[in-house]
Amino acid sequence: MSNTDAHNDILANLASLASTYHVEDKIKITLTGTEETLMAPLIARARDAEMSQPVLNDIYALQTLNRIDHDIEKFQIDDNKATMHTLRALCLDKWTAEFLASNPHCTVLHLGCGLDSRWQRLQPDFTAVRWIDVDLPDVVELRSKLIPSPAGNYTLLAADATEELWLKQIPADRPTVVICQGLLMYLEEEVGKRLIQRLVDHFKSGQLIIDCIGTIVLSLQDRIEVIRATGSSFKWGIDEPKTLESLHPQLKMLECLGPADLQGFSRMPLGTRLMLSTYSYLPWFRYLSSFVRFNF
């Protein structure tokens, strides 16, 4: 069977599975505020998976969304927004995969995992890789109902990433890649900085993969659909991600991409490409949002 045929079979099975779920069988989402923001990336990845030429092809997101009872229309995620989100996710997936390839016996720590299916997309060898997904207790309870945990060295940990005690439970005996997607911008600046410092202090060697927003987004956030839909708020903007190196002597920035730098950005509409490409020459807009990896 070809890869295309296999993919079509999976989609057909998912469609069949979705049709068997009645509204009363679906899981009702009761999260609010920042916790509810996990719905936006899930909707975007699922919408992308239904496109004829998907970016990420996250069929697992489609399966998860089909099991949820929630008002998804209020997030106003159209095809273009779905594509932009999945380009971001693809970038972080690629960096994580590169770390796994270079460090086959490593730890992956995914903070604020939400309903992300990153381990399903990357399919690491759980006999060699230690993978730890972390999120708040209510989110972990929901995730455990919707996403099965894999066999092998995998842990789903209920904890507030900004607190200190949980990190002491995590072994620091391997190179570690820490992924923070859609997390830091919701933290107070000093809280976020202390989190980064604790992570580097604890693990000693590895990489930190993050996304950020610029400070101008803080003043424009009332125009952002996910903020309006959930009543959440952004709190920390970073205009020059390289300045994060000052938080710890071991932190060294390897790569920093703005939206126009993302692989596959050519898939965005011409107007979006022109606007973001033009903004990339303006100091305050260069990193309207940014995707960054550091060595430590």
pLDDT by residue for the chain (296 residues), tens digit each?
444 454 445 444 444 444 444 445 899 999 999 999 999 999 999 999 999 999 999 999 999 999 999 999 999 999 999 999 999 999 999 999 999 999 999 999 999 999 999 999 999 999 999 999 999 999 999 999 999 999 999 999 999 999 999 999 999 999 999 999 999 999 999 999 999 999 999 999 999 999 999 999 999 999 999 999 999 999 999 999 999 999 999 999 999 999 888 888 788 777 777 766 666 666 666 678 999 999 99
Strands 252-257 and 289-295: antiparallel
Domain borders along the chain are: 3-80, 86-295
Q: Give the pLDDT of residue 24.
A: 53
Q: 86-295 in CATH: which number? A: 3.40.50.150
Long-range contacts (CB closer than 8 Å, 24 or more residues apart) made by 242-245? 244/196, 244/292, 244/294, 245/294
H, E, C per residue of the chain: CCHHHHHHHHHHHHHHHHHHCCHHHCEECCCCHHHHCCHHHHHHHHHHHCCCCCCCCCHHHHHHHCCEECCCHHHCCCHHHHHHHHHHHHHHHHHHHHHHHHCCCCEEEEECCCCCCHHHHHCCCCCCCEEEEEECHHHHHHHHHHCCCCCCCEEEEECCCCCCHHHHHCCCCCCEEEEECCCHHHCCHHHHHHHHHHHHHHHCCEEEEEEEECHHHHHHHHHCHHHHHHCCCCCCCCCCHHHHHHHCCCCEEEEEECHHHCCCHHHCCHHHHHHHHHHCCCCCCCCCEEEEEEEC
Q: Give the pLDDT of residue 284.
A: 60
